[in-house]
Amino acid sequence: MTEFELQLGLDYEVADKATLILNIAPARTAAQIVTGESLSLFGAEHSDWYTDRLNANRFLRINAGKGELSIEYACRIALAADFTPIEQLGERSVADLPVDTVRFLLPSRYCQSDRLGEFAQAEFGKLPPGHVRVMAVRDWVRKHVRFQSGFTNPSTSAVDTLVDRRGVCRDFAHLMIGLCRALSIPARFVAGIDYSDGPRDDPMDFHAYVECWLGERWYLFDPTGLCAVTDLIRIGTGRDAADVAFASIFGAVKCAAPRVEMRRVAGTTPVPLPPTHGASTSIHALGDLGQDVEAARPVRLMPGAIAA
């Protein structure tokens, strides 16, 4: 088990008064234990935490008046990745899908699967259902979309990316999700932080992933190929990016760049790399959110308080 400390500082200038809904706290899942967290608010009039009962996302809602608003959030997370190989996994037919996964077959704001059926069936319809087919979708997106910052914008959708073939992790995820849903595979969007230890210049990054329901649980994929799915700290889960916005702001507010720091807690073990036996071995479940919703303890923090 490895432990991480995450520190996040957010600075806003509120013009008059505003409400912010932040999705910054790591999700509490079976594979991701939040062992402690603290929150300090300066300039907030009121705040409450709430957990979305569908997706287990933890939202911090803050009310602020005119002036500066600062948010200091810190937490310690223990990750227990699990490396079940999934090469043999098949799909569940729609008739057998658990009820809570069915909604992830539906089109959503940025994943218009209702328009992608003809293409998805032609391209992937004859592949063996299950892990093989999902990997084919992932690889198709990886091969046909070019990673390019600054080309897309917050209203860019899967349909746009299928046409323009350029975008960032969020766009890759939306297209993969749209295609999976068009194939009747439940698929959802995961926003998180990649904590990889490797020789990257930027050791930490917000990143978007895809989860597909295969067999009996959700499995994680990264269509960009930039991050290992084992290196994810999960923040939010939803139909698409609309459900897990880092910050939804109601009112006139100026933002500074967020201050983020993350470090491995000394003495804890790095998450082991999964055993290598083929191209797909890095694809593993990092937690079954279905369970997590049950397990989620209500957390309500006062500004400055520390939760155990």
Residue 149 engages a copy of itself in binding (rule: CB under 8 A): no
Nearest distance in Å: CB 134, a copy of itself: 17
Alpha carbon separation from 20 to 47, 53, 253 (Å, rounded): 9, 19, 9
Alpha carbon separation from 195 to 15, 272, 287 (Å, rounded): 35, 13, 17
Residue 147 engages a copy of itself in binding (rule: CB under 8 A): no
CA pair distance 186, 239, nearest whole angstrom: 10
Q: Please give the radius of gyration of the chain, using alpha carbons only, rounded to the nearest integer.
A: 19
Residue 107 engages a copy of itself in binding (rule: CB under 8 A): yes
Residue 166 engages a copy of itself in binding (rule: CB under 8 A): yes
CA pair distance 86, 277, nearest whole angstrom: 11
CA pair distance 24, 20, nearest whole angstrom: 12
Both tokens of residue 25? 């706290």
Residue 291 engages a copy of itself in binding (rule: CB under 8 A): no
Non-local CB neighbours of 107 within 8 Å, separated by 6+ positions: 113, 114, 115, 178, 181
Binding mask 109-128 for a copy of itself (x = CB under 8 A): x--x-xxx-xx--x------
Query: Count of residues binding a copy of itself (CB under 8 A)?
Result: 45
Nearer to a copy of itself, 49 or 206 (CB): 49
Residue 264 engages a copy of itself in binding (rule: CB under 8 A): no
Residue 159 engages a copy of itself in binding (rule: CB under 8 A): yes
Which residue from 126, 163, 199, 277 is in contact with a copy of itself, where contact means CB under 8 A? 163
Which residue from 15, 16, 35, 46 is in contact with a copy of itself, where contact means CB under 8 A? 46
Q: What is the DSSP letter of 106?
A: S
Residue 16 engages a copy of itself in binding (rule: CB under 8 A): no
- As a whole number of Å, the end-to-end CA separation of the chain is 18
According to DSSP, the β-strands at 58-64 and 217-221 are unpaired
Query: Which 243-262 residues touch a copy of itself, going by CB under 8 A?
Result: 243, 248, 250
Q: Return residues touching a copy of itself (CB under 8 A).
A: 19, 21, 46, 50, 52-54, 59, 61, 63, 93-95, 99-100, 102-103, 105-109, 112, 114-116, 118-119, 122, 144, 146, 153-155, 159, 162-166, 184, 242-243, 248, 250
